[in-house]
Structures are given as structure tokens and as C-alpha cells.
């Protein structure tokens, strides 16, 4: 029995060594696990932080793309495509489980590409805006020049019309010393009862601007009852887009010099006592008027 005790002690010591060894291994494994767990936690936290930064960067990129304004339809379509790419990346990032730096690096590359494209579009839009501003400025200058030319032409047209009106007024014939008297067959002035005919005397003054050649002057007599004495049923002439009745007319040649004239109206029995009005018309103008009394 006593001989077996040393053997038993030896076995107990070996068992203790094994237990101590296993404990040491477990402690080492636990420490290794804790270190790895801590590293993994930091790794996940770093990936999560990177993910948050990239998400914020994508949101800012989306805002930057939204702020790009241009009137170029083709460029607007390209901007919409890039906006759709950003929206797709944001959706993918929401589903991404913070466990892969490879994924983070992939998103970084795609965001870098989007930034490069954004810078190129900024340059294009800036160039287009400068070109548009230049075109607007040129269009404004052209418009101002056209307005100036239009205003100048209008002014010249008005001046021409004014000049034409002045010339028309200056070249129009006029009648002076216009009188109407009743006369007998011998040409002597008489009262209305003995009147054989009415004689209208007038003078057309010198006018070097008037049209030379043949003219027709119309005499229009109006009785005290405002009835116009007609030469015949068809005795009409045109005056400023109207048709007027005339009492007598005379054709004459005018060469720009002073001309004394007379027009005769034969009494047809339509005369009455009272105040009459007489008017002269020539070349679509009323060249004179007067009043006279038959007693």
C-alpha cells in the first residue's frame, strides 16, 4: 500500500499539470477571442462610420446635381441619369450590412466617378451659361439697334407724311375774292326776280407748286331752305370718298399763274328770296366758300 502512494501522487501531479495547462489555454483563447472581438467591433464601427460619411456625401452630391440648371435638353437628360445612379447607390447603402471594406471601397470609387462627372457638367453648364449671357447681350444689342432703326424709319415716315401733307396743302388750289351775283341777259346785276343767271366770280392765285394742266372746278349752291340746286339729276362729283351734287362746273387750264374765273348757273326758276351758300371744289379739295343774299 505504501509502495503505491508515490505512484498515486505522481498521477495527481500530472493531472494537475494537465488542468493547469488546459486552463492556461482557455485563458489564452478567451483573451484572443476578446482581442479579436474588440478588433471586429472597431472594424464594424469604422465601416459604419465610413458608410455614414459616404451616405452623407451621396446626399450632398444629389443636392449638387439638383442645383445644376440648364436650358439644354440633352444635358438635362444626362443629369437625370446621374441622379438615378445616386438614388440607386443610396438604396444599396441602406441594405449594406457594415461588414465589408471591399463594398465601402466600391462605393468610394463610384462616388469618385460621380464627382468627376459632376465637375465636367459644372464646366459645361458654366460654359453654356456664359455663352447664353453673351447671346443675350448680343440679342439685346441687336434689339436696341433694330428698335433704333425702327424708330428712325417711323420718324422718317412721319416726316415724309408731314412733308407730303405740307406739299399737298401748298400745292392745292385756292379761290380768292369769291362772290356770287344775280345778273340779267346783258350781264348787269339785278334782283332775284329779274335774274337770268347767277355768276360766281373768283380768283385762283399764283401757285408754283400746284399741278399744271387741266382742272375742273365745281360750283355748289345751297338755297335758304338748305336744298342744293342741282344742274341735273346726274350732276355728281367725288369729294373725299363722298358723292356730292354740283350746280355748275367749268374746265380750265392752269399754269401756276394768277387766274381770274367765272362760273355761270342759268336760272331754272328754283331761286327764292333769302341767304344762299356757295362752295367751290377742285381736285378733291374745298377751295372756297361764301354767302350771298337774293333780294
Q: Is residue 149 included in any domain, yes or no? A: no
Last residue of a domain, one of 104, 123, 142: 123
pLDDT band at 132 (very low <50, low <70, confident <90, very high): confident
Q: What pLDDT does 257 receive?
A: 93
**Domain shared by 102 and 186, yes or no:** no
Question: pLDDT at residue 136 above 60?
Answer: yes
Residue range 279-288: mean pLDDT, rounded: 93
Write the pLDDT tens digit of every residue in 205-235.
999 888 899 999 999 999 999 999 999 888 9
The percent of residues above 90 in pLDDT, for the chain, comes to: 35
Residues 9 and 102 in one domain: yes
Statement to judge: residues 211 and 111 lie in one domain:
no
Confidence of residue 173 (pLDDT cuts 50, 70, 90): confident
By residue range, what is the domain housing residue 44? 4-123
Residue 106 sits in the same domain as residue 33: yes
Query: Which of 126-130, 151-155, 203-207 is the least confident region?
Result: 126-130
Taking every pair of Cα atoms in the chain, the longest distance, rounded to a whole number of angstroms, is 201
pLDDT at position 90 = 67
Q: How high is the pLDDT of residue 175?
A: 92
User: Where residue 37 falls among pLDDT bands split at 50, 70, 90?
Assistant: low
Kindly report the CATH number assigned to the domain that includes residue 215: 2.60.40.10
For residue 20, give the C-alpha cell: 493547469
Name, of 62-71, 84-93, 152-161, 193-202, the range with top average pLDDT. 193-202
DSSP characters over 71-107: S-HHHHHHHHHHHHHHHHHHHHHHH--S--HHHHHHH
The mean pLDDT of the chain is: 79
Domain annotation covers residue 142: no
Please tell me the number of Cα atoms within 13 Å of 221 on its side-chain side: 31
Number of domains comprising the chain? 2
For residue 182, list its beta bridge partners.
198
- Specify which of 105-119, 138-152, 226-240 reaches the highest per-range mean pLDDT: 226-240
- Provide the pLDDT confidence category of residue 295 given band limits of 50, 70 and 90: confident
**Range of lowest pLDDT (90-94, 173-177, 189-193, 201-205):** 90-94
pLDDT of 5 above 70:
no
How confident is the model over 244-259, as a mean pLDDT? 94
Name the residue with higher pLDDT: 161 or 235: 235
Which is more confident, 258 or 147? 258
Q: Is 193 among the domain residues?
A: yes
- Last residue of some domain: 123, 142, 163? 123
- The predicted pLDDT at position 34 comes to 61
In a domain, 239, yes or no: yes
Closest to 174 (Cα-Cα) out of 206, 220, 201, 219: 206
Domain limit, last residue, from 105, 123, 141 = 123
44 pLDDT more than 90: no
Question: Is there a domain that residue 166 lies in?
Answer: no
Taking a C-beta distance cutoff of 8 angstroms, is the pair 58, 90 a contact? yes
Q: Is residue 277 a part of any domain in this protein?
A: yes
Task: Note whether 14 and 94 are same-domain residues.
Answer: yes
Which of the four pLDDT bands, split at 50, 70 and 90, describes residue 239? very high
- 118 and 195 co-located in one domain: no
Please report whether residue 134 resides in a domain: no
118 and 225 inside one domain: no
DSSP assignments along 121-183, one per residue: HHHHHHHHHHHHHHHHHHHHHHHHHHHHHHHHHHHHHHHHHHHHHHHHHHHS---EEEEEEEE
The answer to whether the pTM exceeds 0.85 is: no
Amino acid at each position: 500500500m505504501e509502495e503505491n502512494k508515490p505512484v498515486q501522487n505522481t498521477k495527481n501531479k500530472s493531472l494537475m499539470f494537465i488542468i493547469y495547462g488546459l486552463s492556461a489555454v482557455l485563458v489564452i483563447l478567451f483573451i484572443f477571442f476578446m482581442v479579436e472581438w474588440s478588433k471586429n467591433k472597431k472594424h464594424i464601427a469604422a465601416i459604419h462610420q465610413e458608410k455614414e460619411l459616404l451616405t452623407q456625401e451621396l446626399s450632398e452630391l444629389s443636392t449638387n446635381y439638383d442645383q445644376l440648371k440648364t436650358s439644354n435638353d440633352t444635358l438635362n437628360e444626362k443629369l437625370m441619369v446621374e441622379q438615378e445612379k445616386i438614388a440607386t447607390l443610396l438604396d444599396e447603402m441602406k441594405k449594406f450590412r457594415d461588414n465589408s471594406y471591399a463594398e465601402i471601397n466600391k462605393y468610394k470609387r463610384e462616388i469618385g466617378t460621380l464627382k468627376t462627372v459632376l465637375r465636367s457638367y459644372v464646366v459645361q453648364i458654366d460654359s453654356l451659361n456664359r455663352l447664353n449671357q453673351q447671346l443675350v447681350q448680343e440679342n439685346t444689342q441687336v434689339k436696341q439697334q433694330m428698335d433704333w432703326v425702327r424708330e428712325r424709319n417711323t420718324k422718317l415716315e412721319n416726316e415724309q407724311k408731314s412733308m407730303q401733307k405740307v406739299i399737298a396743302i401748298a400745292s392745292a388750289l385756292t379761290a380768292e375774292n369769291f362772290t356770287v351775283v344775280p345778273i340779267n341777259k346783258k350781264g348787269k346785276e339785278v334782283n332775284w326776280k329779274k335774274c337770268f343767271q347767277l355768276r360766281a366770280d373768283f380768283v385762283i392765285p399764283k401757285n408754283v407748286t400746284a399741278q399744271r394742266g387741266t382742272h375742273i372746278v365745281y360750283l355748289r349752291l345751297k338755297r335758304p331752305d338748305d336744298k342744293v340746286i342741282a344742274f341735273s339729276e346726274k350732276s355728281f362729283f367725288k369729294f373725299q370718298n363722298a358723292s356730292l351734287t354740283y350746280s355748275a362746273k367749268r374746265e380750265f387750264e392752269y399754269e401756276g399763274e394768277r387766274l381770274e374765273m367765272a362760273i355761270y348757273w342759268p336760272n331754272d326758276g328754283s331761286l327764292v328770296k333769302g341767304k344762299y351758300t356757295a362752295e367751290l371744289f377742285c381736285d378733291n379739295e374745298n377751295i372756297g366758300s361764301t354767302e350771298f343774299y337774293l333780294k
